Chain A
Amino acid sequence: MIISSSKSFDEILESLKGENNIFVIGCDVCAAKMHTGGEPEVKDMCARLEKAGKNVVGWALPIGTCSIHSYDSLVEKNTNIKKADAILVMACGSGTSIIAKLVDVSVYPANNTDSLGGIYQGNVFHAQCAMCGNCTIADFGGICPTAQCPKGLLNGPCGGSMGGKCEVNSDMDCVWELIYQRLEKLGRLDLLEKVIEPKDNVEDNSV
Chain B
Amino acid sequence: MIDNMPLFGQKLKSGKFVVTSEITPPKGNDISSVLNISDSLKGWVDAINITDNNRAVMRMSPLALGKILADTGHNVIMQMTCRDRNRLAIQSDLLGANTMGIDSICLMTGDHTTKGDHPGAKPVYDLDSVQLLSMVKKLTQGYDFSGNQLEGTPHFTVGVVSNTDISQKMQMMKLKKKAEMGVDFIQTQAVYDLDQFKEFVESVKHLGIPIIAGIIPLKSAKMARFMNNNIPGIKIGDDIICRLENAKDPVYEGLAISAETINEIRDICNGVHIMPIGKSLNTVNLLEMAGFSPE
Annotate B114-128 by CB proximity to A: 1 below 8 A, 0 otherwise.
Answer: 110000000101111
Please, what's the 1-or-0 string for B121-137, where 1 marks a CB less than 8 Å from any CB in chain A? 00101111111001000
**Is the C-beta of B170 less than 8 angstroms from some C-beta in chain A?**
yes
- For residue B115, which residues in chain A have a CB less than 8 angstroms away from its CB? 160, 167-168
Bound Cα distance from A107 to B163, whole angstroms = 52
**Residues of A with Cβ closer than 8 Å to B?**
150-162, 167-168, 176-177, 180, 192-193, 195-198, 201
For B126, give the chain A residue with the smallest CB separation.
A198
Question: Is the CB–CB distance between B232 and A152 below 8 Å?
Answer: no
Which of A150, A157, A201 sits near B174, CB closer than 8 Å? A157
- Does B85 count as interface, using CB distance less than 8 angstroms? no
CB distance from A149 to the nearest CB of B (A): 9
Interface of chain B residues 121 through 168 with chain A (CB within 8 A): 123, 125-131, 134, 145, 161-163
Pair A156/B174 contact, Cβ less than 8 Å: yes
Q: B189 contacts A156, CB within 8 Å?
A: no
SS class, residues of chain A in contact with chain B: loop
Name the residue of chain B whose CB is nearest to the CB of A170.
B230
Report B's interface with A, CB cutoff 8 A.
82-83, 87, 108-112, 114-115, 123, 125-131, 134, 145, 161-163, 169-171, 173-174, 176-177, 180-181, 189, 230-233
Closest to A145 in B: B128
Query: Would A159 and B171 count as touching, CB distance under 8 A?
Result: yes
- Residues on A with C-beta less than 8 A from B128 are 151-156, 198
- Given the known inter-chain contacts A180-B169, A198-B131, please indicate yes or no for A159 contacting B125, CB distance below 8 A: no
Residues of chain A within 8 A of B173, CB atoms compared: 156, 192-193
B175 CB to nearest A CB, Å: 9
How many Å lie between the Cα of A162 and that of B170 in the bound state?
12
Closest residue of A by beta carbon distance from B134: A195
Partner of B130, one of A162, A167, A195: A195
With a cutoff of 8 Å between Cβ atoms, the chain B residues found around residue A154 in the complex are 128, 130-131
12 A-B Cβ contacts within 8 A?
Answer: A150-B112, A155-B130, A155-B174, A157-B174, A160-B115, A160-B232, A180-B169, A193-B173, A193-B176, A195-B130, A195-B180, A201-B126
> Cβ of B163 and Cβ of A159 under 8 Å apart?
yes
In contact, B189 and A159 (Cβ under 8 angstroms): yes
Q: A151-B125, A156-B128, A167-B232 are in contact. List 6 more A-B contacts (CB 8 A).
A: A151-B112, A151-B128, A153-B125, A156-B177, A167-B115, A193-B173
Contacts of A150 in B (CB 8 A): 112, 114, 123
Residues of B within 8 A of A195 (CB): 130, 134, 177, 180-181
Question: What's the least CB distance linking A199 to chain B, in Å?
Answer: 8
Q: How far is the CB of A189 from chain B (nearest CB, A)?
A: 9
